[in-house]
């Protein structure tokens, strides 16, 4: 936004314009529905959307942060030492939806990721995690000609039956950029120590691990250990795994390891069976996390407390719930 525009719009008007743009272009609302949601006239709704255009917020994704979201972003940045935080507005009727925020968070994350990609030097490597939030981001990422980029999975890409994960994010990003993609040819979690040692010793796995460890940027999801847990839904972890992890105090799945509310790895054999890079491999590097969906606040808090994240994209309802959690 230019200084010229800054002088002619106050924070409340900017808040409304940003929300109007999100509702119209991301939420898919009609002008009349936008007016109803924002409790303004249809004429004003039209003007707000036009204003968002004039301020340069509307591209393939929407740039800009509503005022109340900006306040929460600042709080999280200060509290957890983040480099950046984007909290996206959410349509009112989506607050109690189990799959809420994937369109909004995916679009917001696509905007952040697109900017990061444009700044990366030629030949950069990017470590890629898993999850519905990352798929939503990849699907909304504008095409960008970066055939020089390498995208590498940070953890095992197969189920325990060694079937491919149809929702692997690497493939989607390769299609958008023209870059190279590398999968990790093993399950997400080994069944025991012997299988883990055998798989990790394979030359093809070692090559994939080396690519992931040398990444300049990581983009990962944050999993909450709910009954509809993403990894469980695609067969990467079993019902028994999830129950064992919950009993150990796990509330968060991050980079293939499971953390308690204090951001510490839980004491469970499953945490020793993860197949992929470890937390120590990403320490001191840029790690962007993308999180959408109902009931993620405790998982995100655990991820933030792990001190592995540098950047975060989430929705406003989850941010409000997270900031309402009392320090434990």
Half-sphere exposure of 286 (CA within 13 A, CB side): 14
The token pair that represents 173 in the structure block = 């990003």
pTM of the model: 0.78
* pLDDT tens per residue, range 36-81: 877 789 999 999 988 888 887 776 566 655 657 878 888 999 999 9
183-204, pLDDT tens digit by residue? 888 888 888 899 999 999 999 9
Q: Is pLDDT at 166 greater than 60 in this prediction?
A: no
For residue 3, pLDDT over 50 is answered with no
Strands 150-153 and 180-182, by their bridges, are: parallel
CATH top-level class of 3-54: mainly alpha
pLDDT of residue 160: 56
The answer on pLDDT for 281 being more than 70 is yes
CA nearest 62: which of 94, 32, 17? 17
SS3 at position 91: coil
User: What fold is seen in the domain 67-324?
Assistant: Rossmann fold (3.40.50)
% of residues, the chain, pLDDT over 90: 50
- Nearest-CA neighbor of 165 among 177, 173, 175, 153? 153
- Cβ–Cβ under 8 Å, residues 22 and 56: no
- For the chain, which residues make up each domain, given as ranges? 3-54, 67-324
What are the tens digits of pLDDT across the range 89-147? Answer: 876 655 555 566 888 899 999 999 998 999 999 999 999 998 889 999 999 999 999 99
Q: What is the rounded CA–CA span in Å between residue 14 and residue 66?
A: 7
The tokens for 151 are 């995208």
Average pLDDT of 151-162?
78
Structure tokens, 296:
């993620």
| Domain pair 3-54 / 67-324, same fold | no
CA triple 132-84-59, angle to 5 deg: 65
Query: What's the pLDDT score for residue 125?
Result: 97
Collapsing DSSP states into helix, strand and coil, what is residue 156?
Answer: coil
Confidence bin at 5 (pLDDT 50/70/90): very low
**DSSP state letter for 187:** B
Q: What is the dihedral of CA 104, 235, 227, 69, to 10 degrees?
A: -20
């Amino acid at each position: 936004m230019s200084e010229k525009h800054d002088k002619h719009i106050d924070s409340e008007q900017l808040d409304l314009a940003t929300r109007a743009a999100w509702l119209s272009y991301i939420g898919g609302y009609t002008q009349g529905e936008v007016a109803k949601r924002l409790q303004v006239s249809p004429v004003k709704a039209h003007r707000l959307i036009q204003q968002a255009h004039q301020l340069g917020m509307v591209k393939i994704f929407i740039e800009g942060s509503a005022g109340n979201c900006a306040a929460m972003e600042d709080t999280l940045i200060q509290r957890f030492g983040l480099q950046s935080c984007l909290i996206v507005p959410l349509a009112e009727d989506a607050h109690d939806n189990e799959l809420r925020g994937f369109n909004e968070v995916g679009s917001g994350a696509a905007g952040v990721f697109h900017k990061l990609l444009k700044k990366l030097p030629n030949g950069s490597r990017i470590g890629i995690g898993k999850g519905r939030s990352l798929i939503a981001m990849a699907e909304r990422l504008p095409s960008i000609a970066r055939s020089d980029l390498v995208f590498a999975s940070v953890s095992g890409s197969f189920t325990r039956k060694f079937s491919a994960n149809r929702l692997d994010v690497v493939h989607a990003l390769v299609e958008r950029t023209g870059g190279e993609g590398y999968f990790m040819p093993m399950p997400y979690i080994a069944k025991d120590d012997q299988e883990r040692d055998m798989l990790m010793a394979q030359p093809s796995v070692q090559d994939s691990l080396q690519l992931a460890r040398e990444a300049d940027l990581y983009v990962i999801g944050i999993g909450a250990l709910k009954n509809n847990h993403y990894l469980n839904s695609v067969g990467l972890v079993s019902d028994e795994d999830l129950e064992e992890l919950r009993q150990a105090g796990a509330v968060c799945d991050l980079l293939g390891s499971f953390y308690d509310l204090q951001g510490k790895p839980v004491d469970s054999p499953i945490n020793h069976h993860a197949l992929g890079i470890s937390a120590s491999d990403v320490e001191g590097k840029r790690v962007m996390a993308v999180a959408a969906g109902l009931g993620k606040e405790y998982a995100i808090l655990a991820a933030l407390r792990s001190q592995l994240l540098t950047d975060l994209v989430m929705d406003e309802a989850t941010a409000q719930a997270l900031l309402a959690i009392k320090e434990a």
